[in-house]
Amino acid sequence: MAAPQKTLKDYHHIAAILAGLTCSCFALRTSKLERHVLIFDCLLFSLSYEDVITEEELANLKEAVEEKKKSITTLRNQPWRMKKKLETLKEAQEFIEKFEGALGKGKGRKFYAYKVMMLKKWMKFKRDFENFKTACIPWEMKIKEIESKSFGSSVASYFIFLRWMYGINMVLFGLTFGLVMVPEALMGKPYGSMPRKTVPRSESSTAMDFATLWDFGGYAQYSVLFYGYYNNQRAIGWLKFRLPLSYFLVGVGTIAYSFMVVIRTMASNANQEGGGDDTSFNFSWKMFTSWDYLIGNPETADNKFASITTSFKESIVEEQENRKEENIHLTRFLRVLANFLVLCCLAGSGYLIYFVVRRSQKFALEGLENYGWWERNEVNMVMSLLGMFCPTLFDVISALENYHPRIALRWQLGRIFALFLGNLYTFIIALMDEINLKLEEEAVVKYNMTIWEANLYNGTLSENSTRPPIEVDPADVPRGPCWETMVGQEFVRLTISDTMTTYITILIGDFLRALFVRFINYCWCWDLEYGFPSYAEFDISGNVLGLIFNQGMIWMGAFYAPCLPAINVLRLHASMYLQCWAVMCCNVPHERVFKASRSNNFYMAMLLFILFLSTLPAVYTIVSIPPSFDCGPFSGKSRMYNVIQETLENDFPAWFGKVFSYASNPGLILPFILLMAESVLPAMV
């Protein structure tokens, strides 16, 4: 009897069985994990010839896949060489990618394969979305690049702080622009309809001159940029928009929002820093935990390598400073001498500003048109020049003290803080004297207007006359000095001059200095790069304090110049690009790099302090000084805050006004302020 003929399918079945037996023999001499790999490699070989997979084989396959996933998660903790870890990781990933697809074969298993596929897609989407969110953070890559190029976390912390300030000012600009400037421009009375919205006849010939507009006079003064342009009409437009109330609430709301955000950021930073000891085994932690194993981009890997190198330099400096032995008596003498020299500089700068302000008042009484550009801008220029040169002088003096770099930075910040604060409050005190002069002038103007009106009607109109009033061009109507607009103009000029001084300093002190050192070094007597003048280092303390005090001027003057937040947004936006360019192209890293540590919270503490000090003059003028009688949204009221009382009386029931008066009692407000200060102090330490 002839042997039966074997079909192709029978040969395939025999080959699959032989392959399975061969793999089983090899698997007996391997580990459990390798056994899974061999068995299921053979399983896939058999599956290529058969379409059916048993439930037992499916369970083993799932177990192997899960074990591979578990091995990937615990791979970092294995005491193996890095080469073996990478090989094991690669094998496990290939195994999972290869065998998870096999779970889709067979009846009833397609849904599991679909879930695995969707899970992978979801994980990829989350990873891509996180990358997208990082890319959407403004200037994130620029800051990371600065941190990785040997400048360290201390310089990067300044740019992070600048970016945070930019976000705050965007919110302030949105409130002021959307709730004050736009309603007045769209729904208020147009330019030329009333005296406060019209350039006086005596100034119309020079109202469009560049010099006048540069000083924010002329048409700029009589626009929505300043307080005096706004009308005191209770409701404007078809929406019946309460402009005076909105103006007051936006002014109060910007200060309240700033307090809330600064305090919340300080608390968040304190929670992130924690209270643990981060100095134990510092180098071991950096050696074994600094690298990010998820990096897959060569450029990112280079930046991370440079960042780790800089971090090691910072830690080495920290360790050297901790082990340094000093002559304590000589060190104390030099530090006392340094502080004495700094006090002399502070006293001299304060006296100089007071002297210059008194001179400017004398020029104003005699008429500024009789003087040149310097006399008209003397106060702003002197304050800007002091802010430019005194920090450099403090930096030279600080070399006597030989502090740790981070402690030296804080002393430098404190001294520049005292300089700016003294200059600013000297300027404000002199400004208060000028406000008093304006109030005296206003009383004279009110008396003269009474005489002017009497002469206009020739004294013949009685009070009960029905005759139509005489029409007078608004440009010819006498008007008061409007001290609020004057205050707003001073702060705008000070902000502009400070901005220009900062940019000129970058171009001259950094860019031209770098050009000189770079190209003249070839033909000079000594090495300019390592000797004098060398490349400039980035001045962290001066730039940080410049940001803080510029923001303080915004908080002080925004109530009287609604355009100030918009000007500051433009300034910060330009500063980010210009200073990033200057750091990368013109500056060199500090010789003694140091870790930023708690610098961010230190910056926030100074910002909170200047916010409190900036609020005091604004609150004093709102509460104590009567508004001008013929300009601004509060004209005609004895005090600016009376707009709240007027709204409560006209728009709310009587009981609500009583509740509000009780809630605004100083006996309740002062304990709340003390409680808030007590909660903030731990975050500042």
Whole-number pLDDT of residue 173: 94
601 confidence band (pLDDT: 50, 70, 90)? confident
Q: Report in angstroms the alpha-carbon separations of 543 from 155, 474, 533, 584.
A: 10, 46, 21, 16
- Each residue's pLDDT tens digit, 328-360: 777 788 888 888 888 888 888 878 877 887 777
List, in order, residues 6 or more apart from 158 with CB less than 8 Å away.
538, 540, 543, 544
Whole-number pLDDT of residue 18: 39
- Each residue's pLDDT tens digit, 134-193: 778 888 888 888 877 656 677 888 888 899 999 999 999 999 999 999 999 999 888 888
Whole-number pLDDT of residue 24: 43
Question: Which helix (H) or strand (E) is 650 found in, with range?
Answer: helix 642-651
Pairwise CA distance, residues 352 & 382, whole Å: 8
195 confidence band (pLDDT: 50, 70, 90)? confident
Whole-number pLDDT of residue 107: 43
The residue length of the chain stands at 685
Closest CA relative to residue 547, chosen from 260, 265, 164: 164
Between 42 and 576, the more confident residue is 576
CB atoms within 10 A of CB 201: 12
Between 653 and 40, the more confident residue is 653
In this prediction, residues 373-382 reach a mean pLDDT of 74
Specify the pTM. Answer: 0.71
Contact in structure between 103 and 112 (CB atoms under 8 Å):
yes
- Each residue's pLDDT tens digit, 476-517: 888 888 899 989 988 998 888 888 888 888 888 888 888 888
Residue 507 C-beta-side C-alpha neighbours within 13 Å: 7
Q: Which residues of 9-22 are buried (b: 16+ CB within 10 A; e: fewer)?
A: eeeeeeebeebeee
Pairwise CA distance, residues 151 & 589, whole Å: 5
Between 635 and 304, the more confident residue is 635
Whole-number pLDDT of residue 369: 65
Pairwise CA distance, residues 448 & 175, whole Å: 39
Among left, alpha and beta (phi > 0; psi -120 to 50; other), residue 198 is beta
pLDDT at 461 over 50: no
Closest CA relative to residue 63, chosen from 43, 88, 33, 90: 33
Between 434 and 670, the more confident residue is 434
For residue 530 the two structure tokens come to 């390592």
- Each residue's pLDDT tens digit, 429-457: 878 888 888 888 888 888 888 887 777 76
Place of tokens 């048993």: 54
Q: Report in angstroms the alpha-carbon separations of 95 from 63, 64, 68, 602, 684.
A: 12, 9, 8, 51, 53
Between 216 and 527, the more confident residue is 216
Pairwise CA distance, residues 520 & 185, whole Å: 55
Return the C-alpha torsion angle 321, 324, 329, 330, nearest 10. Answer: -80
Return the C-alpha torsion angle 45, 48, 52, 53, nearest 10. Answer: 30
Between 397 and 541, the more confident residue is 397
Give the angle subtended at the CA of 506 by the CAs of 500 and 511, to the nearest 5°.
135
Question: Which helix (H) or strand (E) is 587 found in, with range?
Answer: strand 587-588
Pairwise CA distance, residues 506 & 577, whole Å: 12
Pairwise CA distance, residues 176 & 676, whole Å: 26
- Each residue's pLDDT tens digit, 224-269: 999 989 988 888 888 889 999 999 999 999 999 998 898 888 887 7
Place of tokens 């300043």: 226
pLDDT at 473 over 90: no
In this prediction, residues 646-672 reach a mean pLDDT of 73
